[in-house]
Amino acid sequence: MEPLLSVKNLVKVYGKETRALNGISLDFYPGEFIVVIGPSGAGKSTFIRCINRLVDPTEGEIIFDGQHLEKLSGQKLRKERSKIGMIFQHYNLVGRTNVIKNVLHGQLSNTPLYKSVLGLYNERDKQEAVELLKKVGLEEQIYKRADALSGGQMQRVGICRAILQRPKLLLADEPIASLDPLSANIVMQQLHDISSEKNLTCIVNLHQVDFAKKYASRIIGIKDGMVIYDGSPSQLTEEIVRDIYEGKESQMTLLNDHTGSSVFEEETAKELVAAGNRYE
C-alpha cells in the first residue's frame, strides 16, 4: 500500500537556535488512526501544523496525495489543503453563528463567496451537515449559537465541520486538552468512529497516554523534536513512556485548571445516549 502522506527529514527552526523539529521522517497510510504523544515543547503542534503548511518547514519534504506540499503556494496549495481537515484545541468556531452554519463552513473552499455570505449552501451539504450533527448527538443543538454550547459540544461541532470538508486526511491538534475526562471520551470516541467509518487517515496530537492507548491504531512518541517511538499501543511500555515524558510526567493525563481541580462541563445522560456512547 502506498502512503497517503510521507514526511521526510522534516526540520523546523525558530529564530537562530530553537529546533522544534529535528529531522522527522514518517509514512502514514490510508485508514490509520495515529496518536502523537509527547510533553509540551516536544514539537507535536509544530509537526502537525507543518503537514498542512500552517507552519512552513525549514527543511524537508511533505508529500501528500502525490504532491510536494512544501513546494506549493497560492491556489495550488489551497487546493491540496482543502483535502486536509483540521480540528483545533480551542474549537475555532464562530460563536455568534448557529451550529449548522459553523459545520457548513467546512465547505467554504468549495462555495462561491457570495453564496457563503448569503448562506446559500447546496442541499447535499446541508443534509450531510444535519446527518453529521445527529451522529455526534447534537441534533437538538442545530440552531443554537455555537457560543451557547459546552466545550465538549463545541469540539464535536468542530469535528463535523472538518468532516464536511470531505478530506482525505484529518488532523487534530490537542482536541481534548481543554475538556474533562467524560467530555474527552465523547470527543475521542466520535473522532475515532467517524474516521473509521469514512476510512480517513487521522493524526491526533495528545498529551494523554491512556487515551492514546485506548483509541490509536498506531502511536508516535516525540521528544525534543525527534521520533523516539513508532509502533502499536501494545508495544508502548512504561519504560518508553517515562523516557518520552522525562521530567514532565504530570502531563501524561488530562490537564487540570489553575486551581488544580478538573474542569467539568455539563454533559447530560441524554446527550451521552444520543451520541451512542457507553462509558464505565
For the stretch 209-262, pLDDT in tens is: 999 999 999 999 999 999 999 999 999 999 999 999 987 777 777 543 332 333
In this prediction, residue 106 carries a pLDDT of 87
User: Rounded to whole angstroms, how far apart are CA atoms 277 and 134?
Assistant: 13
User: Rounded to whole angstroms, how far apart are CA atoms 217 and 32?
Assistant: 6
What DSSP designation does 70 have? G
Grid coordinates representing 119 are 448562506
Least confident of 5-14, 102-111, 127-136, 252-261: 252-261
pLDDT beyond 90 at 16 = no
Grid coordinates representing 2 are 502506498
Mean pLDDT of the region 57-72: 96
Percent of the chain residues past pLDDT 70, beyond the cut:
86
In this prediction, residue 258 carries a pLDDT of 30
pLDDT beyond 60 at 32 = yes
Residue 172: left if φ>0, alpha if ψ -120 to 50, beta else—which one?
beta
195 class by beta-carbon count within 10 Å (0-12 exposed, 13-18 middle, 19+ buried):
buried
In this prediction, residue 260 carries a pLDDT of 31
Q: Helix, strand or coil for residue 75?
A: helix
173 DSSP β-pair partners: 205
Least confident of 18-27, 93-102, 149-158, 251-260: 251-260
Mean pLDDT of the region 43-62: 95
Q: State the average pLDDT for the chain.
A: 86
All domains in the chain, ordered by first residue: 5-89+170-274 (3.40.50.300)
For the stretch 161-208, pLDDT in tens is: 999 999 999 999 999 988 988 999 999 999 999 999 999 999 999 988
Q: Helix, strand or coil for residue 86?
A: strand
Residue showing cell 461541532: 157
